[in-house]
Chains A and B, each alone.
Chain A
Amino acid sequence: MALLALTNVTKVYQVGAVAVHALRGIDLMVEKNEYVSIMGPSGSGKSTLMNVIGCLDTPTSGTYILDGKTVHDDNIGQNGNGKLSEDELAFIRNQKIGFVFQTFNLLPRITALHNVELPLIYAGIHKKERIEMAKEALRKVNLEDRMHHQPNELSGGQRQRVAIARALVNNPSILLADEPTGNLDSVTSREIMKLMDKLHDEGNTIILVTHETEIAQHAHRIVHLLDGKIDRDETTPKGNS
């Protein structure tokens, strides 16, 4: 069974009197340890799809199953848990999803270590264990020596690596990266993508949202979105090897 299965997912926003169809029936399966890029011009529904996959938002209709857990299913009513509550979605975000954002989104004025600890705090893990896990995650991204620095004392690349450590710390089902190199120079971008590749090799499932072809080529599969629908779903040269 697929790790992530979207079936005929739509999303409609009501903007004033106008209904905006951001997603118009998406069918997407992602297997465990896949490395997928989602590409598309702005307005194609990339961000919406990412929000839905990341459980920050729920579909208007369709079915979404993540790691065996039904996140959304029209055919099951409210009581059958076809639609999760906000707190249940928060729990899934905490347990199954690791976000990496374009703007890093670290909390300022607290250390890198504490930033990485945050998801574990919300997971209710005890301090001692938590710190060990956070250190381990920082070790994976080679930032152990910077763990007591605050974000403003770190370079952009280092900040993004802290964010990646935070995303990894809970051993999530998928790593969801939204333009992870968008705010970085080309050298640092390459560094970060190397790290992503390494994480994939270690068995993580990665979904990468980007509009840069070069970045997207790191993945083994590229899903092209256009006007809220999947336009093309292709395997990259890396995926063939």
Chain B
Amino acid sequence: MNLHEVFISSINSIRQNKLRSFLTLLGVIIGVFSIISVMTAINVLQKSVESNLNILGTNTFYIQKYPAIQVGGSAHWKYRNRKNLTYDDYLKLKERYSGPAMISAENWHNGDPIKFKDKQTKNSVIIQGVTPEWEFSSGYFLESGRMISRTDMEQMRNVIILGQDVIDVLMPQYNPLGQTVTLRGVKFQVIGTLERKGSIFGQSEDNLVILPLTTHLKMFANRWTSLGYSISVIDMEHFEDVKEEIIFHLRLVREVPLTEENDFEVVSNTSLIDTFNQITGAIKVAALLISSIALLAAGIGIMNIMLVSVTERTREIGIRKSIGARKRDIRNQFLLEALVLTEIGALIGIILGVLAGNLVALSMKVSGVFPIQWAIIGVVVCSVIGVIFGTYPAVKAARLDPIEALRYE
């Protein structure tokens, strides 16, 4: 009896018991669905992280008091007790370091609306104070007007550059340049506008305004204010060297003893992606665990249903044996039935999982993915489960004595 015949006959017997087959499949579907949907979603995130998460630009790293993403909360006090990164430290660092890199400092907050005539923005607008070097490290480009200048810094001028979202809200029909807006009761002159940047993870990148850092600090600094330094390396080849050197100089500026670790965090794209992978890795392990348990349960369900099926079809087995079916014919028939069952489950699980996972892509407006390697793993694992849990019932069927099987009512 060839494989094709066995396959047709197993499809038939699955069709003859539609409801039972579906219920048996459900376990496999859930198991495969959970792993595929999670992996698809993570793949979508990863793809968008790798293409979009150049928050800092590939040639930029960032120094700040707290880590970018904190995994676990126990170390919080360690970070809190660090000295703030100050404007003074920044000036000293710049004075000491003269290598091929632009160092900028910035500070931001939100919660203050910007007012223009009778209109005002929401509190969510980011108000960011920057140094002139920000131009090179930020990834933002001017649409019109000019950037923050050294003179703006020195004189703590009340000048402002607007992001596109802010313009949309305050003055869509005006030329923003030269207009006057109000921030916490202080008048600011608009000297520039930024090009639209779009959004990352569904969050707009254009909902911000830029002030000279000195002005920002004068107005908004308090005892918790700690600046971020962003260092833009001119030649990528020297990225690691520059990083080492800057860390060295900053330690001197902040008088960190040789034996102590850095009292600041260095964040780069690679370190962000590392942290991201660390988190998604944990999610992957969890998904793997859940689907393993689901698939194990599904396997037991399949074994159960196949045992029922063997008992129900004892007479059929007897008939088949009486007309010449060998042991292996019967065994293959039941084994393939279990396999076909699990594979159908795997297929449905993969389709549903990929659809669900790509809903994430849809919501984030990035292109969809098909995690081919996980789909293959899913099919392989299901095959293994089908074989493991299908073998015992199949062997049991093959071993039936033809005379007794024929007599079975």
Contact = CB atoms under 8 A, between A and B. Distances in A.
Q: Do A and B bind each other?
A: yes
Interface in B297-335: 315-316, 318-329
B326 A118 contact: no
A186 B377 CA distance: 62
A124 B319 contact: no
A122 B326 contact: yes
B16 interface: yes
B55 to A, nearest CB: 63
Contacts of A56: 321-322, 402-403, 406
Nearest to A93: B324
Interface residues of B, number: 22
B256 interface: no
Interface in B237-271: none
B323 A122 contact: yes
Given A57-B403, A109-B16, A124-B1, A118 B320 contact: yes
B5 interface: yes
Given A56-B403, A110-B12, A124-B2, A105 B327 contact: no
B403 A94 contact: no
Interface stretch (A84-92, A140-148, A197-205): A84-92
Interface of B is mostly: helix
Nearest to B319: A105
Given A56-B403, A107-B316, A118 B323 contact: yes
Nearest to B328: A87
Contacts of B326: 86-87, 90-91, 122
Interface in A88-144: 90-91, 93-95, 99, 101, 105-107, 109-110, 118-119, 121-124
Interface residues of A, number: 26
Contacts of A91: 324, 326
A105 B324 contact: no
B361 to A, nearest CB: 44
B257 to A, nearest CB: 83
Nearest to B398: A86
Contacts of B322: 54, 56, 93, 99, 105
Contact of B324 (A51, A90, A106): A90
